[in-house]
């Protein structure tokens, strides 16, 4: 209350202020980060980037995908079959030539009403399916049209939400940059967030640590080209490894000779380059496979082929930084969990209050501003902080 001079505006005034001043609120949030930088709180150009799902004003029942529509249709078909069978049973209660009893009539009326409701639901689903097929990502949300159904870290769990990206300073845990997105995965967010953080810190270089969910060659390359050194682990997904054969990590790249050394000690040389989803992939192989005693543990084809992206050294450098500094992932976790846990605790076990992406972005900017403000007050103390603002 001290900040507003003991003014106590009612909820409508606050809601209107938030609605009418979205862009100004975002600017204040960014300006406060500048102030933190000027106060020397962001001296080390080092951030952890992470995303977290925040619930939207949209229940799961009001979000539709093609899969969900198919499941709902199957449920309706089962219900219709059950009600039809119950109608037959009710008919059998009355002997031929007899008038049906009042109970039977009531049961039949109730069942017919239920069938009529299901017919309505089938029509509603047909209209929703049309909208789902017309939407670019084959998904619609009825209450807040911008939010999306997203997987969360729990197995098989998900929520209708926004994915909030943040770049958090590793020293003082201040949120340097943030972005509200309705994209369910983090894979294409790294370069955008890193560049936003670098601009906010006005630094020529930046160290970024992130988790394996951000691993995407093009994103790491874009960071490298923008002067951002990324530390993140390479995902260990290998079809050969899960089938019990040697995986790519079992092959050592020898940069000097541009060859891979395989588990049998043979050298796989570059033979040709292929285009794969717009990426140039160099293919390495050796003729020694045909007579190799380890072949059963290596490949089911005539020879083992190893693919190498033309910029793979950039992705390898990200993993190498982690190998040299194994503490980086602990620092990452401690850095990003602090603001996200605080934001969620302050928001309570609830969803955003506003609907649609631009308004939700304003709401999040207010939360981020409040988090950064209280964080600086905790670090500095209120009086020195006010003095720094006036200076």
Rounded to whole angstroms, the Cα distance separating 217 from 155 reads 26
Q: Which stretch binds ligand SF4 (CB under 6 A): 38-46, 209-217, 259-267, 378-386?
A: 259-267
- Which region holds residue 119: left if phi is over 0, alpha if psi is between -120 and 50, else beta? alpha
Question: What is the torsional sign of CA 33, 38, 41, 47?
Answer: positive
By CB atoms closer than 10 A (0-12, 13-18, 19+), residue 381 is exposed
**259 lines the binding site for ligand SF4 (CB under 6 A):** no
Widest CA span in the chain: 98
Q: Which is nearer to ligand SF4, 198 or 295 (CB)?
A: 295
**238 lines the binding site for ligand SF4 (CB under 6 A):** no
Shortest reach from residue 237's CB to ligand SF4, in Å: 20
Q: What SS3 class is residue 172?
A: coil
CA angle 110, 116, 119 (to 5 degrees): 145
**288 lines the binding site for ligand SF4 (CB under 6 A):** yes
Shortest reach from residue 304's CB to ligand SF4, in Å: 4
Q: Which stretch binds ligand SF4 (CB under 6 A): 60-68, 131-139, 172-180, 260-268?
A: 260-268
Q: Which is nearer to ligand SF4, 165 or 286 (CB)?
A: 286
Number of helices followed by number of strands (H, E) in the chain: 11, 13
Alpha helices in 102-189 (DSSP H): 102-134
**283 lines the binding site for ligand SF4 (CB under 6 A):** no
Site track for ligand SF4 across 293-332, x = CB under 6 A: -xx--xx----x----------------------------
Q: Which is nearer to ligand SF4, 212 or 307 (CB)?
A: 307
Q: Which is nearer to ligand SF4, 111 or 292 (CB)?
A: 292
**From the list 292, 314, 328, 336, which residue makes contact with ligand SF4 (rule: CB under 6 A)?**
292
Q: Total binding residues for ligand SF4 by CB under 6 A?
A: 13
**263 lines the binding site for ligand SF4 (CB under 6 A):** yes
SS3 track for 220-263: HHHHHHCCEEEECCCCCCCHHHHCCCCCHHHCEEECCCCEEECC
Q: Which residues bind ligand SF4 (CB under 6 A)?
A: 262-264, 266, 286, 288-289, 292, 294-295, 298-299, 304
């Amino acid at each position: 209350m001290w900040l507003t001079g003991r003014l106590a505006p009612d909820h409508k005034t606050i809601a209107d202020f938030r609605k009418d001043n979205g862009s100004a609120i975002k600017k204040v949030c960014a300006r406060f980060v500048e102030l933190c930088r000027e106060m020397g709180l962001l001296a080390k150009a080092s951030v952890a980037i992470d995303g977290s799902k925040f619930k939207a004003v949209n229940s799961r029942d009001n979000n539709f995908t093609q899969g969900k529509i198919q499941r709902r249709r199957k449920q309706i078909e089962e219900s219709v079959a059950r009600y039809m069978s119950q109608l037959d049973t009710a008919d059998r209660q009355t002997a031929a030539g007899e008038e049906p009893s009042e109970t039977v009539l009531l049961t039949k009326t109730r069942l017919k009403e239920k069938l009529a409701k299901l017919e309505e639901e089938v029509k509603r689903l047909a209209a929703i399916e049309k909208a789902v097929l017309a939407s670019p990502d084959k998904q619609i949300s009825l209450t807040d049209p911008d939010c999306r159904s997203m997987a969360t870290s729990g197995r098989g769990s998900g929520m209708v939400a926004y994915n909030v990206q943040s770049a958090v300073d590793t020293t003082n845990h201040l949120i340097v940059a943030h972005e509200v997105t309705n994209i369910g995965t983090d894979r294409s967010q790294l370069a955008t967030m890193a560049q936003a953080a670098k601009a906010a810190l006005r630094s020529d270089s930046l160290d970024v640590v992130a988790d394996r969910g951000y691993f995407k060659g093009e994103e790491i390359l874009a960071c490298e080209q923008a002067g951002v050194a990324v530390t993140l682990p390479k995902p260990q997904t290998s079809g050969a490894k899960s089938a019990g054969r040697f995986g790519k990590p079992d092959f050592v790249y020898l940069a000097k000779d541009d060859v891979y050394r395989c588990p049998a000690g043979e050298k796989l040389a570059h033979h040709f380059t292929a285009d794969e989803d717009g990426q140039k992939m160099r293919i390495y192989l050796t003729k020694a496979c045909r007579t190799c005693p380890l072949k059963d543990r290596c490949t089911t084809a005539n020879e083992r082929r190893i693919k190498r992206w033309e910029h793979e050294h950039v992705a390898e450098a990200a993993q190498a930084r982690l190998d040299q500094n194994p503490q980086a992932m602990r620092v990452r976790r401690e850095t990003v969990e602090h603001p996200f846990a605080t934001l969620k605790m302050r928001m309570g076990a609830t969803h955003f209050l506003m609907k649609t992406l631009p308004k939700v972005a304003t709401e999040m900017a207010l939360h981020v501003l409040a988090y950064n403000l209280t964080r600086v007050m905790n670090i500095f103390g209120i009086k020195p902080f006010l003095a720094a603002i006036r200076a």
